[in-house]
Structure 1
């Protein structure tokens, strides 16, 4: 779909199409991560669940890097489309693909060279270490596929094909779930089987995206370009908040794992692993909403249509808030049933710790969705400072002191309180930034 069509079609139709396709895409990603959790919990046990949770920061790093380049490059692509500069947009696309290939290869090399110290830093010790090592080795070897899949998905979505982006993610995700079962149970491959199933998702996704048919409505094409360092900086500056948003999940897992190990040991890490993966589904939906509004906001911004820019944000903000409230209600009412799926050993201690975590931790969802969507919005309209600061606050600057202070005084309750308090503070700052931004009707063009 050309940019002029996006500017002329009723916004509610576009919003439903882009956001639903994008949210379903990210839901597919979260489901195959959740499938790993479920099958490992039931096929390997608590130690496997703890090992998986240790390796989650690697997955966050790969997906975060893919979103850094994908969201940054695709935003510039859409702004160029809104301005009618198609060639410039395709140069950005071509450069981003090459950059993603290089970064992915470097991550694989460094990950394999420094695998042992990296895993031990993340908390993989004792019986957990060989399980984490098996999963990590396979995952990091395919870093380029994960990164390129996120990049190409972002550009295809911005090129007017959110349906193709969704199909690629969902097909890969469902295949992963099927292979998870086959590799872990009938073939008894354990953690290695879960890892091999996981890497099939980006590979299948890339195949579907690369075979997309060229039509008159599509503008995306790989063309020759001249690489400039300024392009790297521009892509990175716009996409960096997406990296922080994604990678902060891994950082939080890392910090929490180390704190929880000191408080209650491996069973606490397993409990947090359940909570993390359940929450990842909701976070993925919020991220999907943010990715869905990005092309709509960017093209409207490029065309200097401030009224449409505001409407895009409003739709996304309300939807994220509503989903957050709904998610908390579900986790509160059906916490016992959800936990039982991942507690194959019927541990009453694991169930008790996790249920208490559900009731406190998921309060953060009242604010988290609005924060994530607002960060994506500021990036989409090239307001890097606001997006950057909000990302740092919710991902690093508030999390680190809170995870040090609160557990010291309140134990595991303090651990569960860290994220709700962080998201609540960021939400207040987010509202302040949005008010300032829209107070001046020309603010987005300064």
Structure 2
């Protein structure tokens, strides 16, 4: 890989990956739309209850893929091809093991997992069907994330983008076909989503035939230290997705007590649109990851500072655009997913969207910073930032603000958590760059 620390390199990698992640986020957004049309508020609530399991699976795939690709890129920058191939081989082996474990959980334990996630008598049948079907495709979800990361880090961000977008577009088409003409209901929604990573993998596999491919499988015994290094380098990506699962679970739990399935369905609209926003920021940060890892391998601190500045500036611009769109179009956006024209649901969702999306001015900076720190060899800082926004701070803010303001406090909890984390992020960034000045 040959990279220069200029805006053109950043723009190419970041923009292609943002487009790809935006397409990838259509996995769940398409399900949200078609499920709401085909199965109403209970279907929407069931889907929202099941999403944390998908977040956990996707987070582990991102951890292995981004972590393995980070180790691969650093090894390539140091001209160590043997270590580069070992990183790829270990990432593939770990990814397959995780995928098979989740597949077994889905086949044997979808019912207890559905109850654990909060499904009640109305939503349990739909939630368990969705989880059992979706997790049957777990190995493909994980391996898609692994191969996406390596293809992108191997100098082919365009192919990675195509894989993500084509897979997501196929999900949209298959969602419609399976839910309506085939009348397969919740099974059809999950089956369509499960086929999408397979289609993406078929596109990505073309890179494996490229004569300039840099990574290869090799014979090597499992090395615990290398596996730990891969996980450490990708832990911020995992915690970022885990935080989405934790937030969904906790918000569903609180809303069920405050406003029942209608509140959960309203949050389903807010949460799924928020997943699209998070995917954009994840795309921005993982898009710049190959450049950051390469610069880190060369100890080019000037390049690292420039890439960080590009990332923060881009995240603020994206957050501003997203908030303007959501604030202006909150009502029509809600109407698209409110097939039963439920006035209570619409009121909850419109207010929720306008408050919740304030948090993305801070969330974008936090996501970019956590991935940047992990990609540049500061895994502990990246992990701490991800844990703070995703697990540590959200719990007290959610329960405290809900006790004070009711359902409005639920919506305010996300911006409050991200603002609190942003202050800590600013301190970490100032210290990190002061040391390398």
Measure, in 2, the Cα distance between the counterparts of 1:46 and 1:128. Answer: 10
Aligned position for 2:118:
123
1:231 has 2:226 as partner = yes
Give, in angstroms, the shift of residue 217 of structure 1.
3.8
- Structure 1, residues 20-61: CA drift from partner, whole Å, max 9, x if none? 111111101112311110011111111000000000011101
Tell me the equivalent position of 2:397: 402
Return the TM-score normalized by structure 1: 0.96
Q: Which residue of 1 aligns with 2:200?
A: 205
Counterpart in the other structure of 2:130:
135
1:195 maps to which residue? 190
Q: Report if the CA contact (8 A) 2:301-2:436 is conserved.
A: yes
Matches within 5 A, 1:253-264: 253-264=248-259
Report what 1:44 is aligned to.
39
Q: Aligned equivalents of 1:308 and 1:245: distance in 2? A: 25
- Is the aligned partner of 1:435 residue 2:430? yes
Cα deviation for residue 115 of structure 1 reads 2.2
Q: Does 1:69 align with 2:61?
A: no
Gaps of 5+ in 1: none
In the TM superposition, 1:40-189 aligns within 5 A as 40-189=35-184
- Distance in 2 between residues matched to 1:385 and 1:213, nearest whole Å: 33
- Which residue number corresponds to residue 35 of structure 1? 30
Q: TM-score, normalised by structure 2?
A: 0.98
Alignment match, 2:10: 15
State the distance in 2 between where 1:74 and 1:286 align: 19
Shift of 1:213: 5.4
Aligned residue in 2 for 1:6: 3
SS in 2 for 1:45: helix
Query: How big is the shift at 1:95?
Result: 1.1
Partners in 2 of 1:92 and 1:348 — Cα distance? 53
Q: Provide Cα deviations, 1:71-118, integer angstroms capped at 9, x if missing partner.
A: 111111111111111221111101110111011111221333332221
CA shift, 1:413, in A, is: 0.6
RMSD over aligned CA atoms reads 1.2
Are 2:105 and 2:135, in contact at CA under 8 Å, matched by a contact in 1? Answer: no
Q: Is the 8 Å Cα contact of residues 60 and 142 (structure 2) preserved in structure 1?
A: yes
Say which of 353, 361, 367 aligns to 2:356: 361
C-alpha distance in 2 between matches for 1:30 and 1:301: 29
Unaligned runs of 5+ in 2: none
Contact 2:106 2:133 in 1 (8 A): no
1:417-442 superposed Cα distances (whole Å, 9 cap, x missing partner): 11100000111111111111111226
Would the alpha carbon gap of residues 196 and 111 (structure 1) be closer, same or farther in structure 2, given more than 3 Å must change? Answer: closer
SS in 2 for 1:114: helix
Distance (whole Å) between structure 2 residues aligned to residue 389 and residue 200 of structure 1: 35
Q: 1-side partners of 2:21 and 2:400: how far apart?
A: 33
Distance in structure 2 (CA, Å) of the matches to 1:365 and 1:317: 12
Partners in 2 of 1:236 and 1:365 — Cα distance?
Answer: 27
Select the residue among 287, 298, 305 that pairs with 1:292: 287
